[in-house]
Amino acid sequence: MMAHSLVKEAGLILLLAAVPASISAWLWAPTEGAMTDLVAGPIPAGHLDMATIAARQSDGEHFTWIDARSTAEFEQDHVPGAIHLPLNDWEAGFDRLMGEWDPAVSTIVYCGSAACGASEQVAERLRLELGMGEVVVLHGGWMAWTEFSQ
Amino acid sequence: MKSIHPEPKKRHEAPALVWGARICRFGVGALLLVAGGIKIGHPVGMAEAIARYRLVGEQVAQFAGYYLPWVEVFVGGVLLAGSRRSGAWLLAMLLAAVFLAAVGTAWARGLDISCGCFATGKSIDVTTLTTNVALLLGTGLGWYLDSRSRFIGKE
């Protein structure tokens, strides 16, 4: 009897929550494939795709690459010359960056894929701490780099 | 004249029990209300944050992105309001268990993703895990204390 009323109360809350959630879904309808295909969408401000980076490199431009992935992923493979700067080991990574950083050279931050958020957080923190120079996110992350390099 | 009957134990433990239950109820209720309230205006960002855990498919992540914040708001609201709250305690415990499982597995897999706990910016670390463990313990303890205080008729 007690368990019955418990489930009934919980069910009522779930039903009530479904009403505004449905209105919210109707007002801000998600676009089809918005999350599985984040790379294919418009490139957000502060991001660069591999094609643009490659074009700038072919014009003779150099970049400072920042790898914001985990240590295990970085040790497995990374962009040649990339500096490992994960959020959970900021001080050591930032010291490594300061040893090589040139404000005249643009900095590109990447994490695992378009679905990870670490590169945006690292880029945001670098913009605040460095205060100068271009800091952008590699659109599509490491996945985009490997696909482009094949 | 002093009574020969000892005072029932229940009467001694009641104030501590009631206040403990109230603190847990208001703490968990406010936390869920604020956490859900922050996220209800950003359902797509929330859905993306859920998808980044790579535990569910896109459709489920989208559904949860719209629905979960509202469940948090309603559960928190019912706990704060205090009426018919047993179902809210049950849901609060389920939510806390699911959050802890998601954050724990993401941390174990070394995923460099945002937590999605309050806003999308906070990454998963020991603090996030500790917060989720505390939420699960708080809901469990709150449910227990609240049930006992109502059982002895003090709330």
- What residue in A sits closest to B85 (Cα-Cα)? A9
List residues of chain A with CB under 8 Å from any CB of chain B. 5-14, 16-18, 20-22, 24-25, 28, 30, 33-36, 38, 68-70, 72-73, 86-88, 111-112, 115-118, 121
In which band, very low, low, confident or very high, does the pLDDT at A131 lie, cut at 50, 70 and 90? confident
CA distance B49 to chain A (A): 8
Out of A24, A70, A115, closest to residue B43 by CB: A24
Residue among B143, B133, B146 nearest B104 (CA): B133
Largest CA distance in chain A: 76
CB contact under 8 A, A88 and B43: no
Q: Do A14 and B112 touch (CB under 8 A)?
A: no
Average pLDDT in the A118-146 region?
A: 87
Burial of residue A75 (CB within 10 Å: 0-12, 13-18, 19+) is exposed
* Closest C-alpha among A136, A128, A73, A63 to residue A102: A63
Query: Rounded CA gap, A60 and A57, in Å?
Result: 5
Instruction: Residue B150: list chain A partners with CB under 8 A.
Output: none
Position A50 pLDDT exceeds 70: yes
Q: What per-residue confidence (pLDDT) applies to A37?
A: 47
Say yes or no to pLDDT of A33 above 70.
Answer: no
Cα end-to-end distance, chain B, whole Å: 31
Residue B140 pLDDT greater than 90, yes or no: yes
- The per-residue pLDDT for A6 is 86
Widest distance between CA atoms in chain B: 73
Of A15-29, B31-45, B71-85, B116-130, the least confident: B116-130
Chain B nearest CA to A62, separation (Å): 26
- Average pLDDT score, chain B: 83
Buried b (16+ CB within 10 A) or exposed e, B91-105: bbbebbeebbebbee
Q: Which tokens is A120 given?
A: 């945006």
Summarize pLDDT for A94-127 with one digit per residue, the tens.
999 998 888 889 999 998 776 667 888 889 899 9
Mean predicted confidence (pLDDT) in A51-69: 92
pLDDT at B119 over 90: no
Residue (of B147, B135, B153, B127) closest to B29 by Cα position = B135
Q: Scanning every residue of chain A, which has its alpha carbon at the shortest distance from the alpha carbon of B41?
A: A24
Residue B2 pLDDT > 60:
no
Distance from CA of B12 to the nearest CA of A (A): 27
Q: Which two tokens stand for residue A57?
A: 């490199």
- pLDDT per position as a tens digit, B43-87: 877 887 787 787 887 788 889 989 999 999 999 999 999 888 999
- H/E segment holding residue A84: strand A83-84
Whether the predicted pLDDT of B123 surpasses 70: no
pLDDT at A54: 92
C-beta atoms of B110 and A73 within 8 A: yes
Look up residue A115 and give its DSSP letter.
T
Report angle CA A47, B68, B130 to the nearest 5 degrees. 80
Hey, which of A116-120, A136-140, B75-79, B113-117 has the most confident mean pLDDT?
Answer: B75-79
Least reliable range by pLDDT among A79-83, A85-89, A115-119, B107-111: A115-119
Q: Which residue does chain B place closest to A10, by CA atoms?
A: B87
Model confidence over B18-29: pLDDT tens digits?
888 999 999 999
Residue B144 vs residues B23, B82, B95, B139, B154: alpha-carbon distances, Å:
13, 15, 17, 9, 14
State whether residue B146 sits within 8 Å of chain A by CB: no
Angle at A131 between CA A120 and CA A116, to 5 degrees: 5
- Cβ contact B112–A68 (<8 Å): yes
Contact predicate B120/B114, CB 8 Å: yes
Structure token pair of residue A18 = 């479904």
Q: Distance between CA atoms of B109 and B55, rounded to whole angstroms? A: 11
Rounded to the nearest integer, the mean pLDDT of chain A is 84
SS3 category, B111: coil
